Chain A
Amino acid sequence: MSAPRDTYLPEALREKLIHDPRVAEQDLQVQVQEHRVMLGGNVASPQLKQRITEVAKELLPDYEVVNEITVVSAAEPDGEEPVL
C-alpha cells in the first residue's frame, strides 16, 4: 500500500519556495492535481511571481504550472484612520 502519487508533492514545492533564496516566501498556496501545479498567494513584484513559476518548473518539469499569485499594490493609501 502506498500514498497517492501527488500526496507529498505540494509540501516539497512549498519547502522549495521557502528555502530557495530567489523566492523565500512562506505564505504561498500550492496544490497539485493530475499534472498541474496551482500556485496562489501574494507577492510584492511581477518579477518575483515569475521567479516562482521558474522554481516550480525546475522542481516539477513535467507539470503545467498555473500561477495565480497576486502582485500586491505598493501605492500610497488614499486616506488615514483616526485611531485615537
Chain B
Amino acid sequence: MIRIAAVGDLHYGVGSQDILRPSLQHLPDRADLLLLAGDLTRCGGPDEVKVLADDLRGVPIPVVAVLGNHDYHAGREAEVRRVLEGAQVRVLEGEATTFDFDGVRLGIAGTKGFGGGFRGAHGSDFGEPEMKAFVGHTKMLSDRLERALAGVEADLRIALLHYSPIEATLEGERLEIYPFLGSYLLAEAVDNAGADLVFHGHAHHGQEKGRTAAGIAVRNVAQPVIRHAYNIYTLDANRQALPAAAGGIGS
C-alpha cells in the first residue's frame, strides 16, 4: 500500500510562511510521499518559492513537483526550480522519477501541461504564429509526458500535471475558459502510455474526481477544491495485479 499526499495551487508569496507547515508535521506518519501539482508561487518569484522551500525543508518523505503557470510569470522558472531542488524537491518537466516503497516501485512522470480545450472543441496550431505557438506548446509537452510515462519502469505509475487532462474535473468552471484550463492531448498521452492515477491542479472552481476515456482515475487537487493542506490517496499494487491475473487464467 502506497500513501500519496497531493496538493496544487498553493500560491505561496512572501508572507505565506507557515500556511502549510502546521499540517506538514504529521505528514510523514500519514503518507509515503508528497506531490505538488503546480502554481507553487503567486508570481513565480524565487523569493516566493523560497518561503515554500523553507516550509518543506526537513519534511522527511520525498517531495515531487511540477510547476504551474504562475511559476512562469516572472520568467524566472529556472531559478524557481533550483530553489526547490535545493530543498530536495524533485521537479519534473517531461521527466520521470521512481521510488521504491517496500519493494513496490512507484513511477511518477510530470509536466506542467497547457491548454487548448477538449475533444470536439480543441484549438489547432493553424493560422497566426501566436496560435501555432499556443497549441504547439501543448502538443510538445503532451508528447514528452507520453514518452516519460511509457519509459518509466514501475509497478504503479502516476502522471503529475498542472493543467487538466479532462473536462469532468473542470465542472464548476465557466465553459468559456475550458481551453485555458487544459487539453485532451494530456489525457490522450496518459491513455496511450498507461498510468494508475493522474493528478492536476489549476481549476480552482472544478471538481476533485474524474476519469480519462480509458478509465484512469484523475484527481484535481487544487487547494481551493480539496479545501485541506493536501489530500491522501492510497494505491495497492496487488489490487491492480488481480484483474490482469484473472484475465490471464481465463484466456
B99 adjacent to chain A (CB < 8 Å)? no
Chain A nearest CB from B6 CB (Å) reads 10
Contact A84 B236 (CB under 8 A): yes
Chain A nearest CB from B237 CB (Å) reads 8
Contact B239 A84 (CB under 8 A): yes
Known contacts A44-B16, A74-B20; is-contact A81 B232 (Cβ 8 Å): yes
Q: Give the chain A neighbours of B235 by CB distance below 8 A.
A: 83-84
Instruction: Report the Cα distance A84→B3, complex, angstroms.
Output: 11
A66 adjacent to chain B (CB < 8 Å)? no
From B42, B197, B229, B240, A75 is in contact (CB under 8 Å) with: B229
Chain B nearest CB from A74 CB (Å) reads 5
- Count of chain A residues with a beta carbon within 8 Å of a chain B beta carbon: 23
Chain B nearest CB from A63 CB (Å) reads 24
Chain B nearest CB from A81 CB (Å) reads 5
User: In terms of DSSP, what is the predominant structure of the interface of chain A?
Assistant: loop
Instruction: Report the Cα distance A47→B204, complex, angstroms.
Output: 19
Instruction: Report the Cα distance A79→B42, complex, angstroms.
Output: 29
Contact B231 A77 (CB under 8 A): yes
Contact B70 A24 (CB under 8 A): yes
Q: Give the chain B neighbours of A21 by CB distance below 8 A.
A: 42-43
B124 adjacent to chain A (CB < 8 Å)? no
Which of B128-136, B137-145, B220-228 binds A?
B220-228
Contact A76 B229 (CB under 8 A): yes
Contact B23 A75 (CB under 8 A): yes
A33 adjacent to chain B (CB < 8 Å)? no
B15 adjacent to chain A (CB < 8 Å)? yes
A45 adjacent to chain B (CB < 8 Å)? yes
| A residues in contact (CB < 8 Å) with B | 21, 23-25, 27, 41-42, 44-45, 47-48, 72-77, 79-84
A-B contacts besides A48-B13, A76-B23, 10 pairs, CB < 8 Å: A42-B204, A74-B20, A74-B223, A75-B23, A75-B229, A76-B230, A77-B226, A77-B229, A79-B232, A84-B156
| B residues in contact (CB < 8 Å) with A | 3, 10-11, 13, 15-16, 19-20, 22-23, 26, 30, 42-43, 70, 73, 156, 196-197, 204-205, 217, 219, 223-224, 226-236, 239-240
